[in-house]
């Protein structure tokens, strides 16, 4: 089921700079939506809040760091 994104408040990281290479997130009732900031009418990925929290936790712990 696709969430209603008509009232989504999209946010971009303050660290994204001006190069246009960024994603935007919107926190919905039970989900988190992610889209490409350069293609705002393009596809949107949606994650359960628990999935998003696990992803953020992995980022903070360095699970995705490239050596």
Query: CB of 35 within 8 A of CB of 43?
Result: yes
Report residue 43's pLDDT band, with 50, 70 and 90 as the boundaries: very high
Q: How far apart are CA 35 and CA 49, in angstroms?
A: 16
Kindly list the distances between the CA atom of residue 34 and the CA atoms of 42, 60, 67, in Å, as whole numbers in the listed order: 11, 18, 26
pLDDT at position 6 over 90: no
Q: What mean pLDDT, rounded, does the chain reach?
A: 89
pLDDT at position 49 over 80: yes
């Amino acid at each position: 089921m696709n969430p209603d994104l008509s009232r989504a408040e999209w946010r971009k990281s303050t660290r994204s700079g001006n190069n246009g290479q960024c994603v935007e997130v919107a926190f919905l009732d039970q989900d988190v939506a992610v889209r490409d900031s350069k293609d705002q009418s393009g596809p949107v990925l949606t994650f359960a809040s628990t999935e998003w929290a696990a992803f953020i936790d992995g980022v903070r712990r360095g699970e995705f760091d490239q050596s």
